[in-house]
Structure 1
Amino acid sequence: MSSQEEIVIVDATNQILGRMSTHIAKLLKSGKKVYVVNAEKAIISGPRSRVLEGYSLLFTVKTMQNPYRQGIRRPRNPINIVKRTVRGMLPKNKLGKQIYRNLKAYIGIPKELEGKSMIRFDDADVSRLKGKYITVAELSRLLGGLKQ
């Protein structure tokens, strides 16, 4: 790592995934490295059944050339669900791929990041929600990505 790269550590605990991802995408576009810790504790708003149905629907997609093959690979574990959400908010070109490399996500807090200052986004806090929600860990467990 060069000395000019600024590293931002984001704590995803009780943060709404979509809102948090927009902030992370903006940080990445501004040239910062972003580490997301506690990725499994991020929140997806909506009733549990609707969220699960939406994600499960992605697994039923088949290809036109060979409908008997498996469809497109979709994320099942919390790290990849969070990273995929952020990736969808980045530019769809070479620059977007380069920016995406500056994103790291972790389940829990790794030892090398313990004790460092972490940021949270106020407008992405779960206290804004009035309805139901599901955590990324719970969604991952239901999709078969997290074994516990």
Structure 2
Amino acid sequence: MMYIDADNAIYGRLSTFVAKKLLEGEEVIIVNANRVAITGSRKFLLNRFIERRDIGSNRKGPYYPRTSNQILRRSIKNMLPVSTSKGKTALSRCMVYASVPKIMKNKEFKKLEEFQNKRVSGYVTLQEISKTLGYKVRE
């Protein structure tokens, strides 16, 4: 069982690391998905996520998530072979939380230093993207 604190971690690098660990058979629990950073220009990133949300229709989909934890989980899912049973069971071992749940307050979380965002500007957090997509974030 691996507990990961995703505070200020880079979105894509964190997702690939977690996908590999899931395929190796580990259970992974990620907290603080609200604070995951996506590097790039703010305008480009927000427009990209809005375009993804607007594809399709309400009846037929595809349904794109609005919450930060579901956005992160979907990026991990896209890196797994979900059409096979191996990929489905790997994804079932992944839990993502927007913040730290009360049950896990006393757990020790691993902070992945090699995936930390070192930029001062030029990034957007998943919480900001969730707000842009229409989710009312509780703090």
Calculate the TM-score normalised by the size of structure 2.
Answer: 0.89
Q: What residue number does 2:49 align with?
A: 55
Deviations 1:32-53 (A, max 9, x none): 1111001111011111110011
Q: Superposition pairs for residues 85-124 of structure 1, below 5 Å?
A: 85-92=75-82, 93-124=84-115
Q: What residue number does 2:69 align with?
A: 79
**CA deviation after TM superposition for structure 1 residue 14, in Å:** 0.3
In structure 2, distance between residues paired with 1:146 and 1:43: 19
In structure 2, distance between residues paired with 1:122 and 1:99: 24
Deviations 1:83-104 (A, max 9, x none): 0011111123221111100111
In structure 1, distance between residues paired with 2:116 and 2:25: 24
- Is 1:37 the equivalent of 2:23? no
| Conservation of the 8 A alpha-carbon contact between 1:13 and 1:39 | yes
| Conservation of the 8 A alpha-carbon contact between 1:76 and 1:146 | no
**CA deviation after TM superposition for structure 1 residue 70, in Å:** 5.6
Q: What residue number does 2:135 align with?
A: 145
The AA in structure 1 aligned to 2:104 is L
In structure 1, distance between residues paired with 2:86 and 2:37: 28
Q: What residue number does 1:136 align with?
A: 126
Give ranges in structure 2 of 5+ residues lacking alignment: none
- Displaced runs of 4 or more, over 4 A: none
Once superposed, what is the RMSD of the aligned Cα atoms? 1.8
In structure 2, distance between residues paired with 1:70 and 1:96: 24
| Structure 1 stretch displaced more, 107-116 or 40-49 | 107-116
The structure whose Rg is larger is 1
DSSP 3-state at the match of 1:126: coil
In structure 1, distance between residues paired with 2:75 and 2:68: 11
